[in-house]
Structure formats: structure tokens, C-alpha cells
Amino acid sequence: MAVLLAAPLVAAPRLELPPALESSRIISNEELLLSAQKLLPRGAFLGPLLDARYAVVKHDWLVKKFIPAYRRAVTALQAELKHGGDEGADCDDFGMFLRHMAALSGMLAGGAQPSAAQVIVFQENSFSGVGRTRERHAIGLFLTELGWQVLEPQNADKLVPLESYANKNGIQYISFH
């Protein structure tokens, strides 16, 4: 007679869905392209704009709803990533996670995708708890009715206008997908 041993139930980590996107207006991909091209220093690249329309994100929604939900998700992930190693939970992983959470917000709103991108910069100066690394670093970028805003994806501690972002001249690549 075979005896089956029951494995202990381990609760899988749960991530909440982000809040549905709130936009201030809809712009065409051409408008977003022209706006983003102005951000690029000489020699930098801009990734694809695959959709026809994009939502300009409401700044108030970003600050009061999205960022708090994103912070909770980052905290939950960091608690699970104890043994990820150097490449298991670094800036590009969190940058992609931030961009995907923003995309989910757009899907939940049933409308255009947010004007949000993952940006690769040269981290010459410290920002939002991430020190001066003097190497490539991923950040989040959102177009709001108040202009372009930068968010550190590893902690979502500071949202600042691009004009005051310490590494804005180090932008190397902007990807909207």
C-alpha cells in the first residue's frame, strides 16, 4: 500500500494589479515621437512606438495611485528575491517591471497605452538612493500633463521632472516597449 505524503502548502507571493490608468489626453505616436526625440542627446537611440495613440498620464494619478501600488509590488518582489544574485533583481529587471506595470494600467483602463518608457542612462550622479555607478542604469520615464517625469524603478522613492534629473545628459536609449 502506497502512502502519499502531503506537501506543506506554501502561499505563493501575490502581486496586486495596478490601478487603471487615468490620462489627461491622448496623443498620436507622431506627437510622442517628436517629444521624445527632443530628450535624446547626440548618439542616443529611441525604441519603437508600436501603437497609434498614447495616453499622457495624469500626474496626480501617477503620484497618488500608481506609485504607491508600484512600491507595494516592488516590496513584495524584493522579499521574494533574496537569492537572486547580482543579475536576479537589478535595475533593468525593475525597469522592465515598471514599464509592464504601467502597460497593465493602460490595459485595465481599456484605452491607449501610457506614454511611459524604460530609459538607459549613464549613471554619472547618484539619484533616489542609487549611487554613482559610472555605468549604464535603467530608469522609468513618464509623460504627464506637467511634462516628462523620471522614476527610479528599484524603489520608486523619487519622481522628478526630467529637467532636474541628475543624469539627463546621460540618456543613451529610450524604449516605449
How confident is the model at residue 8, as a pLDDT? 60
Q: What is the maximal distance between C-alpha atoms in the chain?
A: 74
Q: pLDDT tens digits for 29-40?
A: 999 999 999 999
Q: Report all structural domains of the chain as residue ranges with CATH numbers, in order of start.
A: 23-80+87-175 (3.30.460.70)
Asked if residue 88 has pLDDT above 60, the reply is: no
Distance of CA 2 to the CA centre of its chain: 51
Pairing relation of β-strands 23-28 and 53-57?
antiparallel
How confident is the model at residue 1, as a pLDDT? 58
Cell of 19: 490601478
Q: Spell out the SS3 assignment of 36-88.
A: HHCCCCCCCEECCCCCCEEEEECHHHHHHHHHHHHHHHHHHHHHHCCCCCCCC
How confident is the model at residue 124, as a pLDDT? 81
pTM of the model: 0.87
Q: Which of the four pLDDT bands, split at 50, 70 and 90, describes residue 6?
A: low
Share of the chain above pLDDT 70, in %: 86
